[in-house]
Structure 1
Amino acid sequence: MNGPVACLDIDYFYAQAEELRNPAIRDKPIVVCVYSGRTPDSGVVATSNYVARRYGVRSGIPIWRAKELLRGVDAVFLPVDMPYYSALSHQVFEIAGRFADVIEVASIDEAFLSLLEVAAGSFENAARLMESLKKEIRARTGLTCSIGIAKNKLLAKMAADDSKPDGLLVIRPGTEDQYLKPKPVEDIPYVGVKTAKRLRDMGIKTIGDLVNTPSDKLMEVFGFRVGRFIYLASRGEYFEQVTPRGEAKQMSRMITLKRQTRDEAEIWGQLAGAIRELHRRVIELGYGFKGVSLIGVTRGMKPVTKSMALPHQTQEITELENVSRQLLRALLSGLEEELRRIGVRVYDLSSERGQSRLTDF
């Protein structure tokens, strides 16, 4: 089964971060710049808020041009502050990771979330989860974000772009053609200006036009890799797995409970098998772990988690079971809603076999 996959994009991130730091400038045009240092106006615009965009200020234009466009306007020009933005980004994606099976951080302001298990394959469940995530990010950080949900990463990214700012758009299975065909070819992610111009020179202006172009023609003009990509992308059939960047440090297993419940014994009776299955996989790969989390999803699709860091690395099933049982009691304590899904995650993994990358979640 494909999807659901979500793309999370923090709205006009650098400029929004500056609004958060100094709310007094929120209603002014804000331009965050990468200064070259040669002159006060040398460099380029990194991003701008929506107030500045109304004047035509966009990322990538020279700073002097942005100042020209904002002449006579009470605008704010600021240098990039990467340590500050990175700290905020880490906070956002740490929150997002609790709502997903797997999270792939694509850049400082964008991430992809695999929701197949946590949403039980349901796009409706995925939408409710992502609404909860947006509220959680806003409450915890003050930031807004836009989220797209679809059957693959590429479509989810397009949906996120279309939902800006502070929106949520779901492309449900079976509606991809309806969504894609009217769009200009430039709307396909990663199709640059040159590729779009060549397509237009071929009489291909919309994605609908592209769908009617044979794949061998596209591969003849653009080469196998690019031609195949735009052929599949135009049909909504370009699939890439959501994969953690760098070294992944966790594994998890999640189950849907036979009925929605808060009964500890009933939940444990079903969770214990998932714990044993996860432990077998950890041992097969030669990993030990130093942390355990339980992840629950309530009747209202709200994620709840409890975690425990261990004082030492272990591979012991009894320790995993004991910690998981403690976490389950803590998770259920004070929980008002019944759980519909429950999962266990081990993290801070290291391998005695010298393996440096783990992609199994």
Structure 2
Amino acid sequence: MPAPPIRRIAHLDMDAFFASVELLRQPQLKGLPVVVGGRSRSAGWLGNAALEALPAHAIPLEAFARLHSYTGRGVITTATYEARQFGIGSAMGMMKAAKLCPDAYLLPADFEQYRAYSRRFKAIIAQHAPAIEDRGIDEVYIDFTDVPDGQEEGGLLLAQRIQRAIYADTGLTCSIGVAPNKLLAKLASEWHKPNGIFILMPDQVTEKLWPLPCKKVNGIGPKTNDKLLTLGIHTLHDLAHTPEQELIDAFGSTYGAWLHRIAWGQDERALVMESAPVSMSRETTFERDLHAKADKAELSDIFTHLCQRVAADLQRKGYAGRTIGVKIRFPDFRSATRAISINHHTQDAATIRQIAGQCLKRIDLQRRFRLLGVKVDNLLPLEEAQDVDSKLLSQTKPHHACAAQLSLPFDE
């Protein structure tokens, strides 16, 4: 009887995904430091209607905003590798990034465009290897184990084929790590970025893994890493050679045992091919702190737009929810959240806005705030939600949005 195939798991990560999509339509920015962040792309993003009417590739360089002219509290969504060389990274405040590379070009984010490209590259992967775990807009895990060529040269041939197919269809590059499990594949996908492939075989695991600092592992956050450092544990080699019981004593039985396993490259997690969302939300951080009364018109528009976007997400993905909530974040970074459950499921923007508005009335909005978010919880697939609601219909009167628009703290 032939031996079972060796487990081969790939992690595919698109290279500077949002920025790369932007460079496809604005190739004049290629090779230059570019950051994407701040407000979403919309009419007026260049501040010049005549320039905005031009084909994107014909917009002159001097028309694009530079990072040094930015004021506000926006964060970097992504950056080209040319910008990253200055120390700029995702989630960094743009004012901080402006100090590192003031001449970097600044583009607003266009998430509809990014989602369209995300669907394209994932469809291409599925043509070559159908067992995929979706990890977000720009990354996936892929099971190569039983796929044709998935074992050839450790999975190199299949990885090359997928990489070429994505580039041929989209013009975008990606980096792929292929290893015995998800933990190692994610690490390996970083080792030959951008547009690289790294094949990690079982007999190479400790050689490649142990020199790495512990914080490189997804799941070891800053607090855990600080505690490990106080214990004299700096690298995964140190972690692997720390008695498991010492780790359990320091971090608890579950997490301590996990730390011991991952230090030896052990990860038995299966790919999750289908996972139902438990909630959907949209939020935005303002360029400046806003006040419910002084900025009521602007806040009303923002609030309506957030509710509409959450509703559109639910409708596009085929879900409905029955708990609607809001989040407010104040200048001192303290947050307030409120939620209301209704007795039927909804994916309707007007209903979401009406119930979310009731939530807002339960928060003291005397102070200015920096962030506003809207969330829908307790989700079910639409058909299942409709079945549940129909069964409850005879028992209780469903809650419907009021015909008259609710007067919110920042409505006119």
TM-score by length of 2: 0.57
Matched residue of 1:118: which SS? coil
Deviation track 1:133-158 (CA, whole Å, cap 9, x = no partner) reads 10110010000000000010110000
Report whether the alignment pairs 1:15 with 2:44: no
1:60 to 2:60 alignment: no
Does the 8 A contact of 1:9 with 1:146 survive in 2? Answer: yes
Other structure's SS at 2:245 match: helix
CA deviations 1:151-193 (Å, max 9, x no partner) are 1011000000112111000111221111111111112122111
Distance 1:216 1:123 in 2: 40
Separation in 1 of the partners of 2:72 and 2:79? 16
Note the C-alpha offset of 1:225: 2.8
Specify the SS of the correspondent of 2:172.
Answer: coil
- Contact between 1:101 and 1:116, CA under 8 Å: does it hold in 2? no
Shift of 1:131: 0.4
In structure 1, the partner of 2:350 is: none
Q: Which amino acid aligns with 2:19?
A: A
**TM-score, scaled relative to structure 1:** 0.64
For the residue of structure 2 that corresponds to 1:98, the secondary structure is: helix
> Secondary structure of 2:202's match?
coil
Q: Is the 8 A contact 1:5 1:149 kept in 2?
A: yes
* 1:118 and 2:147 matched: yes
- Counterpart of 1:343 in structure 2 is none
For 2:210 and 2:132, locate their aligned partners in 1 and report how far apart those are by CA, in whole Å: 29
Structure 2 letter corresponding to 1:57? I
Q: Deviations over 1:31-90 (max 9, x none)?
A: 111349xx843211111011111222111211111122222x2x2111221111011011
Contact 2:176/2:198 (8 A) holds in 1: yes
Does residue 245 of structure 2 align to residue 223 of structure 1? no
2:124 is paired with a residue of what secondary structure?
helix
2:267 counterpart (212, 229, 238): 238
Partner of 1:32: helix, strand, or coil? strand
Aligned equivalents of 2:6, 2:260: Cα separation in 1? 19
Indicate the RMSD between aligned Cα atoms, in angstroms: 2.2
CA contact (8 A) 1:211 1:235 kept: yes
**Number of aligned residues:** 246
The answer to whether the 8 Å contact 1:119/1:126 transfers is no
Deviation at 1:226, TM superposition (A): 2.1
Matches within 5 A, 1:1-361: 2-35=6-39, 40-71=71-102, 73=103, 75-119=104-148, 122=151, 124=153, 126-246=155-275
- Deviation larger for 121-130 or 159-168: 121-130
- Give the match's secondary structure for 2:218: coil
- Structure 2 residues not aligned, in runs of 5+: 41-69, 277-382, 388-412
- Aligned-residue sequence identity (percent) comes to 34
The amino acid across from 1:54 in the alignment is Q
User: CA contact under 8 A between 2:154 and 2:199: conserved in structure 1?
Assistant: no
**Matches of 2:39 and 2:73 in 1, distance apart?**
6
- Residue 169 of structure 1 aligns to a residue whose secondary structure is strand
Gapped runs of 5+ residues in structure 1? 248-349, 355-361
